[in-house]
């Protein structure tokens, strides 16, 4: 175990003016607090925070970060408290240590939810201070290095969590060396057979190609010497997980992989990068489509380098990365290489250490966390965070030239939400490179995207399955929930208006405010939505507002008396509304007094039709379905018998015709056709020629002479349906056609 003076000496090598007192104090305090605690390996527990601190010294982190590493488990695993840390080390360090402490005693329903809440807490702490991230990643790296001592089931869970969250997080922060080591160890535990096979094959290929690699290094070094470019050339081998992932994703064999080996060219200046590139491309042929300039357009994690692939000296493909020494350092250590908390002069933080300009990677992380922190539940947060962390990127532009970085596979919808949530919510179309393209189009590097907007737009729920960014998915989910809540709230308001009117009272939303506690709802909109969903009866609201109110409802009429006793049902329910249709009659479909105007399935209230359907011209009734809205039935439907003893769920409805809205309505018919070739085509032809639409079709019975089928149609109204049935009966291929429950 590393001694106290050895830790101080490590930091002194890169920071001669180290605050020894702080390191010594943190070392002694943590060692005393962890006392005789042991790790699963049997080693003293204090060896773990000490190793975490050692990993951070390799990144040349300042003494405050090293001290936090020594203290990071004290609040969680010892008797130490936040107040005690604040008192001894200051509130800033206390806040950092608390940010690394897992949530305890979570009242959550699943391990996934607990994991998500801990991740949310960690990321919010990271967004305030990047040192939390650096200590956490070092902590995870040491835990992975000692994973052998954990039970097998726990090993697998920790490895999967590392692969899902911590390795991608390190990559997003540009810490490629740490990402590769985390992935390699996790791969070894998640899929040990594949790990052994890939590792053995890579070792075999390396032995076979050692001579070729040396020859290429010499050829490149000679080329740069000839052009007076000071450059270091070193070969590198792709890591096992990277190889395995590429083979799986692209269904490739080892022989088909062209980039198992690559060469890194490190030069002094940016100008030398392009001079080296020119020397290479004028000596060997470039492979088309394999050139990327991340110097002029850096990745979101601040990675900068030139990538190219050439047909090399021995006629084999050679992948090259060209970068400066500073770029190489950033590629290896990411945010840790930016000296955010090292002495560079100028503005200082609370610990007396300089704060340099925020890096792109850290700025991206802060924005992402702010967006994801608005998630609706822990599982959504975890899912969206993984989406944000995992993806490779494409770079697109707004018409004004603003650069938008998106995950690979992103669509114009993702682009719109990346610009602003309001832009995404009002998106109705997109132009990609000046041409109108479908919103599902996969964007490519360099695309210019212009979003077409409409204030009347509400993002469809189906978009959630199209987008790939966590921000877009969370925003669509939120907008969908808000739209549904608005529908239920509107329905609830209209139901309460009728209930209050029947009681001779005047309904106002303000009248609900004093009785929210009696109704166990947090706000007025919650009351209205609960009434609309059928979770809260209108009579219960009436009794809460008027304690002396008495409900005098009548039980609805029996099924055979429904048509004749309709007024009794209406009086029993006390609620009227209308649903859009077509070609209203002036007789029985004339608007009934007190009807509440409500749009249909395309309108602003949650309405759907029973399986057998209903069309304008039918006498109809609505049944409130808790949680799903109102289901519309024809008055003659046998299914209504199930609701005879539930009068509070019956709602009198009428067709509200809007000639401007062309909408078909569902109706189910039974057709008995002669079992002969072409009979189904004849039926389809009759339906099509009558401007109707077949939604679904199923065979009920098949016999040697005939076939009975159920067809769900979409028609304009009852007159349209009757005309269609008449023509089906007249067709030579049909022996019978009738409406189901009609």
658 tagged catalytic? no
The two structure tokens encoding residue 48: 């773990």
Tell me whether residue 105 is exposed, middle or buried, using C-beta atoms within 10 angstroms of its C-beta: 0 to 12, 13 to 18, 19 or more: exposed
DSSP 315-359: SSEEEEEEEEHHHHHHHHHGGGGGTTTS--SSSB-TTS-B--PPP
Tell me the torsion sign for CA atoms 373, 377, 381, 382: positive
Would you give the DSSP letter of residue 523? S
Residue entry with tokens 């967004």 = 127
List 43, 76, 525, 551, catalytic entry: 76
Backbone angles phi, psi at 624, to 5 degrees: -75, 125
Q: Which two tokens stand for residue 1?
A: 């175990």
Do 336 and 59 touch, CB atoms closer than 8 A? yes
What would the two tokens of residue 325 be? 């020494």
Query: Are the C-beta atoms of residues 437 and 412 closer than 8 Å to each other?
Result: yes
Q: Which two tokens stand for residue 154?
A: 């726990």
Q: Indicate the SS3 state at residue 456.
A: coil
Identify whether the C-beta of residue 50 lies closer than 8 Å to the C-beta of residue 2.
yes
> Which of 253, 234, 233 has its CA nearest to residue 243?
253
Task: Indicate the burial class of 36 (C-beta count within 10 angstroms; 0-12, 13-18, 19 or more).
Answer: exposed
- Token pair of 576 as six digits: 């009227």
What is the Cα–Cα distance from 687 to 702, expressed in whole angstroms? 21
User: Dihedral of the CA atoms 399, 403, 404, 407 (nearest 10)?
Assistant: 120
Written as six digits, the tokens of 602 are 């395309």
Residue 632: closest CA among 621, 642, 618? 621
Q: Of these residues, 77, 86, 293, 358, which one is catalytic?
A: 77
DSSP state of 613: B
Helix (H, G, I), strand (E, B) or coil at 155: helix
Look up 645 and say whether it is catalytic. Answer: no
Rounded to an integer, what distance in angstroms lies between the CA atom of residue 307 and that of residue 331? 13
**Is residue 448 within 8 Å of residue 396, measured between CB atoms?**
yes
Greatest Cα pair distance in the chain = 103
Closest CA to 521 of 561, 489, 557, 480: 489
Nearest-angstrom CA–CA distance, 97 and 91 = 10
Residues acting as catalytic residues: 76-77
């Amino acid at each position: 175990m590393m001694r106290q003076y050895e830790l101080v000496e490590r930091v002194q090598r890169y920071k001669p003016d180290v605050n020894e007192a702080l390191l010594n104090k943190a070392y002694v305090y943590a060692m005393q607090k962890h006392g005789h605690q042991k790790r699963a390996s049997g080693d003293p527990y204090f060896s773990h925070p000490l190793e975490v601190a050692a990993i951070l010294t390799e990144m040349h982190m300042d003494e405050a970060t090293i001290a936090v590493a020594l203290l990071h488990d004290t609040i969680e695993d010892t008797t130490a408290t936040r107040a005690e840390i604040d008192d001894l080390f200051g509130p800033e360090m206390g806040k950092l240590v608390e940010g690394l402490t897992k949530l305890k005693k979570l009242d959550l329903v699943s391990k996934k939810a607990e994991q998500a809440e801990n991740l949310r807490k960690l990321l919010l702490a990271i967004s305030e201070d990047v040192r939390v991230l650096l200590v956490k990643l070092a902590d995870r790296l040491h835990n992975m290095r000692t994973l052998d001592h954990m039970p097998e089931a726990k090993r697998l869970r920790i490895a999967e969590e590392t692969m899902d969250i911590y390795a991608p997080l390190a990559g997003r922060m540009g810490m490629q060396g740490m990402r590769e080591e985390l992935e390699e160890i996790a791969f070894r535990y998640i899929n040990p057979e594949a790990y052994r096979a890939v590792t053995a094959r890579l070792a075999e290929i390396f032995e076979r190609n050692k001579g070729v690699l040396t020859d290429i290094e010499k050829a490149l070094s000679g080329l740069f010497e000839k052009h007076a470019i000071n450059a270091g050339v070193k070969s590198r081998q792709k890591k096992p997980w990277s190889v395995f992932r590429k083979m799986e994703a692209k269904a490739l064999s080892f022989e088909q992989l062209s980039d198992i080996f690559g060469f890194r060219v490190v030069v002094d200046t940016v100008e030398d990068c392009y001079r080296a590139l020119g020397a290479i491309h004028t000596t060997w042929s470039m492979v088309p489509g394999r050139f990327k300039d991340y110097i002029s357009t850096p990745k979101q994690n601040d990675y900068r380098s030139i990538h190219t692939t050439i047909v090399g000296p021995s006629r084999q493909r050679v992948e090259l990365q060209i970068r400066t020494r500073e770029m190489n350092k950033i590629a290896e250590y990411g945010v840790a290489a930016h000296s955010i908390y090292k002495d560079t002069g100028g503005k200082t933080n609370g610990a007396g250490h300089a704060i340099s300009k925020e890096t792109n990677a850290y700025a991206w992380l802060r924005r992402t966390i702010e967006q994801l922190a608005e998630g609706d539940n822990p599982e959504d947060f975890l899912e969206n965070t993984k989406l944000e962390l995992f993806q490779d990127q494409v770079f697109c532009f707004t018409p004004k030239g603003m650069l938008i970085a998106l995950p690979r596979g992103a669509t114009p919808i993702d682009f719109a939400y990346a610009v602003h949530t309001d832009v995404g919510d009002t998106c109705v179309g997109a132009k990609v490179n000046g041409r109108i393209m479908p919103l599902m189009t996969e964007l490519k590097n360099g695309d210019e995207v212009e979003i077409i907007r409409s204030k009347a737009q509400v993002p469809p729920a189906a978009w959630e399955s199209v987008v790939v960014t966590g921000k877009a998915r969370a925003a669509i989910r939120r907008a969908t929930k808000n739209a549904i809540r608005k529908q239920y709230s509107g329905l609830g308001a209209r139901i309460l208006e009728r209930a209050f009117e029947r009681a001779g009272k005047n309904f106002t939303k303000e009248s609900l405010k004093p009785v929210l506690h009696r109704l166990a709802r947090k706000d007025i909109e919650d009351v209205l939505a609960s009434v609309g969903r059928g979770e809260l009866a209108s009579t219960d609201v009436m009794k809460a507002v008027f304690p002396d109110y008495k409900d005098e409802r009548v039980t609805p009429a029996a099924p055979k008396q429904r048509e004749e006793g309709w007024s009794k049902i209406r009086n029993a329910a006390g609620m009227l509304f209308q649903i859009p249709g077509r070609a209203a009659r002036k007789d029985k479909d004339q608007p009934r007094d007190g009807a509440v105007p409500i749009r249909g399935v395309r309108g602003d209230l949650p309405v759907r039709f029973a399986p057998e359907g209903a069309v304008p011209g039918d006498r109809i009734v609505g049944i409130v379905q808790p949680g799903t809205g109102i289901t519309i039935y024809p008055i003659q439907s046998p299914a209504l018998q199930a609701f005879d003893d539930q009068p509070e769920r019956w709602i009198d409805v009428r067709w509200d015709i809007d000639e401007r809205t062309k909408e078909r309505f569902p109706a189910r018919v039974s057709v008995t056709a002669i079992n002969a070739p072409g009979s189904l085509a004849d039926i389809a032809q009759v339906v099509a020629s009558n401007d109707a639409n077949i939604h679904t079709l199923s065979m009920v019975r098949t016999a040697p002479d005939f076939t009975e089928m159920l067809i769900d149609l979409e028609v304009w109204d009852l007159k349209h349906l009757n005309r269609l049935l008449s023509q089906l009966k007249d067709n030579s291929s049909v022996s019978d056609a009738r409406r189901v429950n009609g």
